[in-house]
Structure formats: C-alpha cells, structure tokens
Structure 1
Amino acid sequence: MPAGSPRPLQQPPRAERRTLLARHFVEAVEPLLEAGETYADISVERLIKAVDISRSTFYVYFDDKGDLLGAMAQDVTRDLAEAGSGWFEFPVDATKDDLREAIRPLFETYRRHQLLLGAITEAAAYDPRVREQHLALVGQAVDGLKAQIQLQQRAGGAPAELDAQRTALWLTWMHERGLYQMVPSASAREVHKLLDAMVDLVWRTLYAGFHD
C-alpha cells in the first residue's frame, strides 16, 4: 500500500454481521406476521426483498429459513433478557409494587414480539436448531431467576427451604407458556390483569412474609 494511502475499512466479523442482519429481519418479518402471514408460508424470496439483500448474501449468513428463525430467536432473546434484568436484580428491600415494575417489561417485550415468538415456539416442535435457541432462551431465564432466588435466600428475603433451581424452572416455564397461550389474544386491559395475577403468584411464592 503506498505511503499515505488511507487504510481500507475493516468489515465486522461474520458473526457480528449475521447478528446485525438478523435484527433487520426481525424488523421486516414482524409486519408480515402482523398482516396475517405465517412464517412457514413466507418464501426466502419475500424475506430477502423485505431487507433488500441478494439471495447469495442471504445464504452467506443463513443456511435456510430455519437457520434464520434461529438467528432471530437469538436477537429476541437478548431483548427478553434485558427486559427480565430488573426482576433478576430485584433488591431485598423492594415492595410488591416494585416487583410489578420489574416484571412488566417482560410482558411488554413479549407483546412487541409475540407473533415472532409464537413462530419460534411452533417451529421448535419440528426444527432442532430452533428448538435449541428456544431452550437457550428459557435456560438463560432460569439461570437469572435461580440467581435471584439464591440472592434473596442469602439475605433472608425468600424461604430458605425453596429449591432454587426447580422453583426457577417452574416459574420460568409458567411464564413462557402463559405468555404464549394467554397474552397474544388478550386486550390491553386483560394483559394488565394477567400481569397482576403473575405478580401476585410470584410475590406469594418467593417474597410474601419476608418483604412486608
């Protein structure tokens, strides 16, 4: 390279480009699902047109539609993990109202991505790659909630006799199944009631009698 010549801009690593592209696909696919289409019926051609890339570029980063769905699952997982961080960092001296504010972002994030998350859940039944991403999502939530329960137990804010791992498993899967089954068809008012019921359930299971 001649002296004084500008250095060529370095391209981000392939994994980073795949992640960025998956986010673009999330933003493009969700309106198609909202319009009534199913992910299974959306062709690769429709997908690549929606984000304005070539077919060859698509296959550089994704093996097929199932692989893309797995990548989008990873992207949405990050949103859900961020939404759940308030609960996983719930302070020992917090109130039931604080718990509601900590859990509320999970409901809001699920509502925002509910159709795509539904497609991920359905595809997980037959596509092992998507199932792996789906289970990873649940596993991250279980780990975060288990750590929260153990933190509360050490501080005397949750029953010492609770099995932190299995309690976290039950609560996480109840959240996951409940959000999938009840939230998509619920009105805004009903979502608030569902949130209140979940907060009451969690509060009574983990915190009641210790934070009052």
Structure 2
Amino acid sequence: MDAAPLKPFQLSQPERRAMLSRHFVGLVEQLVRDAGSYSDVSVEAIIKAGGISRSTFYVYFADKGDLLVAIAHDVIADLVASGNAWWQLPTDASRDDLRRALRAPIDTYREHRTILATVTETAAYDPRVREQQQLLVDRVVSALADYICNAQRNGAIDATLDVNRVAQWMVWMFERGLYQLIGGADDEETDRLQDSLTDIVWRVIYQR
C-alpha cells in the first residue's frame, strides 16, 4: 500500500521553501513576461500571484532575489538533469544518437526560457544568483568531464583532449548559446541550431 503524501505542516522549513519555489516558477515567468524584466516585478505582485500572505513569503524568502535563487535551483537542476541524455550515451554513439540527446536540454530551456534568461541576467548583479548558477554549471562540467574521461579510457575519444578545459568550453558555450540563440528561436530555427550544435560537439569530442 502506498504511503500517504506528506502534508505541508509535516515538511521541514527547507522542504516547504522548495515546495513554494516550485509553486512560483510558472507564476514568476508570467509576471516577467508581462513586466519585461524581473527587476520590474514587485514583491507585492509575486505575493498576489502566489496567493500567499506577505508574512508567509518572508518566512521562507529574504526578498525577491532570494526567491529567484530558490527558483533557479529548481529550474537549472531540471536543465542539468536533461543533460543526462548526453552523459548516458554509449561511447560508441552515432551522430544521430548525439543529436537526439542534445535535444533534451534544448527543449527544457525552451520550456523555461523566461526564468532561465532572468537567472542569467540577474546573475550579472546579484551574487546569490550568480553563485547558484555557477554551482550548477560546475556540476555539468564535472559530468561532461567524467563522460569524456570514460570514453578516453575506452579508446572512443581522442586521448589528447584536455578533458577539463574542453568540458568547461563546451558547457559555457552551450549555456551562452541557449541564452543568445535558442531563447528567441522558433521551431524551425531551433532545429537548425540543434544541427549546428551537434556538428560542433561531434567534431570536437567524437570525430577521430
């Protein structure tokens, strides 16, 4: 028999904070689209959209920047998780396999393009958001570096590649490309960009 779901009062404060931040993702995305930028969205607007009291908001978040940190953790974590489609490829994967795997993070970014663009823009001036972004980027770099190392040991990837630096370049190139190119692209242009990204990754990492 399945256990009964936990009720809010049974959760710890960090768990309730995480639950609230997930609740706010779609609401904040809509507020940002309406206002034009996160800096123009007031705490009052966030509270009203979320259907909670001001006192409840400040129990879990110091300010709207702190809320964005919590949202960033959730949404960027989703983006990181979607990258598993690449890390889980066999080392002898084909170019078509790679293309399909790279589509997963592209689609996740498009789903949350508003909030992820907000995170990127806010990270430029809010050290809390920048730290959250950096921590999660570091996780992706580490995952890609491990994947390249394993493939090198199997003889599937050029053993002379500088693993850590190649992983750093790839991940930051991908992050910037999602923001600058994928964020505003329609379906047809997204397909073309996906092809170009596949070409770059294939030639740098896989093609011998």
**TM-score (structure 2 length as normaliser):** 0.93
State the Cα deviation string for residues 160-209 of structure 1 (Å, max 9, x = none): 01111110000000001111111122121111111110011001111113
Conserved? CA contact 1:90–1:148, under 8 Å: no
Match of 1:4 in 2: none
Conserved? CA contact 2:32–2:41, under 8 Å: no
Residue 51 of structure 1 and its aligned partner are, at CA, apart by: 1.3
Match of 2:40 in 1: 41
State the Cα deviation string for residues 130-166 of structure 1 (Å, max 9, x = none): 1101111211110111111111111111110111111
Q: Which ranges in structure 1 are unaligned for 5 or more consecutive residues?
A: 1-7
Match of 1:11 in 2: 10
Match of 1:88 in 2: 87
Take 2:188 and 2:8, find their aligned partners in 1: how far apart are those partners?
Answer: 51
Residue 35 of structure 1 and its aligned partner are, at CA, apart by: 3.3
Say which one has the larger Rg. 1
- One-letter amino acid matched to 1:128: P
Match of 2:126 in 1: 127
Take 1:9 and 1:172, find their aligned partners in 2: how far apart are those partners?
Answer: 37
Match of 1:5 in 2: none
Take 2:146 and 2:51, find their aligned partners in 1: how far apart are those partners?
Answer: 42
State the Cα deviation string for residues 69-111 of structure 1 (Å, max 9, x = none): 1111000122111110111122112111110111101110111
Residue 44 of structure 1 and its aligned partner are, at CA, apart by: 0.6
Task: Report the more deviating stretch, 33-42 or 76-85.
Answer: 33-42
Conserved? CA contact 1:67–1:129, under 8 Å: yes
SS state of the match for residue 35, structure 1?
helix
Task: Report the more deviating stretch, 29-38 or 76-85.
Answer: 29-38
- One-letter amino acid matched to 1:163: D
**TM-score (structure 1 length as normaliser):** 0.91
Conserved? CA contact 2:35–2:41, under 8 Å: no
Instruction: Identify the structure with the greater helix proportion.
Output: 2
**Structure 1 residues 56 and 160 mapped into 2: Cα distance closer, same or farther (>3 Å)?**
same
- One-letter amino acid matched to 1:139: D
**Structure 1 residues 93 and 72 mapped into 2: Cα distance closer, same or farther (>3 Å)?**
same
Match of 2:3 in 1: none
Q: Which ranges in structure 2 are unaligned for 5 or more consecutive residues?
A: 1-6
- One-letter amino acid matched to 2:79: L
- 1:63-212 correspondence to structure 2 within 5 Å: 63-209=62-208
Residue 37 of structure 1 and its aligned partner are, at CA, apart by: 3.0
SS state of the match for residue 74, structure 2?
helix
Conserved? CA contact 1:19–1:71, under 8 Å: yes
- Count of aligned pairs: 202
Take 2:105 and 2:35, find their aligned partners in 1: how far apart are those partners?
Answer: 24
Take 1:106 and 1:180, find their aligned partners in 2: how far apart are those partners?
Answer: 12
Residue 16 of structure 1 and its aligned partner are, at CA, apart by: 1.0
State the Cα deviation string for residues 43-78 of structure 1 (Å, max 9, x = none): 111101111111111111100011111111000122
Residue 9 of structure 1 and its aligned partner are, at CA, apart by: 8.7
Match of 1:3 in 2: none
Residue 36 of structure 1 and its aligned partner are, at CA, apart by: 4.9
